[in-house]
Amino acid sequence: MTIEANQRIPQQPLHTGYGPRTTAEDIMQGVDLAGKVAIVTGGYSGIGLEVSRVLAKAGAQVIVPARSLDKAKVVMEAVPEAELGELDLADPDSIDAFAHQFEESDRPFI
C-alpha cells in the first residue's frame, strides 16, 4: 500500500494514561529490575542519563559505556549505582573488548 502525498491517515489516541507531563519515574513506578543488567549506551548525557538513573533506581545493575571515561565520571556522580565501562562505538576493537569484558564478568545476558 502506498500513500499519496495528499492522502491523510486519521490518527487515533492510544489512551495509555501517559502524557506530556509523564516522567520516567511515573512509567517505572512499581517495576522491580533487581537481578537485571542494563547496558545504556549514551547513558551519561541527555535522555540516556535519565534512563540510567531511573533503571538504577528500579534496581537494575546499570553499565554505562563511554568513549571518554573522565567526562562520564563527572556526570555519573548523579547515578552512583551505575558502573562505567570504556567503549568507542566507532572502533570495532573497542566494541570487541567491551563485549569480552562483559562476558568475562559472568553477568547474565539474553
Query: Taking Cα atoms as reference points, which of 24, 63, 26, 68 lies closest to residue 43?
Result: 63
CATH number of the structural domain spanning residue 78: 3.40.50.720
Instruction: Specify the number of domains making up the chain.
Output: 1
Q: What pTM, to 2 d.p., does this model score?
A: 0.80
**Residue-level pLDDT at 106:** 84
pLDDT of residue 7: 76
Specify the pLDDT at position 10: 86
Question: Would you say residue 75 lies in a domain?
Answer: yes
Domain containing residue 49: 31-104
| pLDDT at 1 (0 to 100) | 57
In the prediction, which pLDDT does 42 show?
A: 94
Determine the Cα–Cα distance for residues 87 and 65; give it in Å rounded to an integer: 5
Residue 44 is assigned to a structural domain of this protein: yes
Assigned domain for 80 exists:
yes
Write out residues in the chain with pLDDT < 50, as ranges. none
pLDDT of residue 109: 66
Specify if 2 maps to a domain.
no
CA distances from 43 to 5, 15, 17, 55, 104 (A): 38, 29, 26, 11, 22
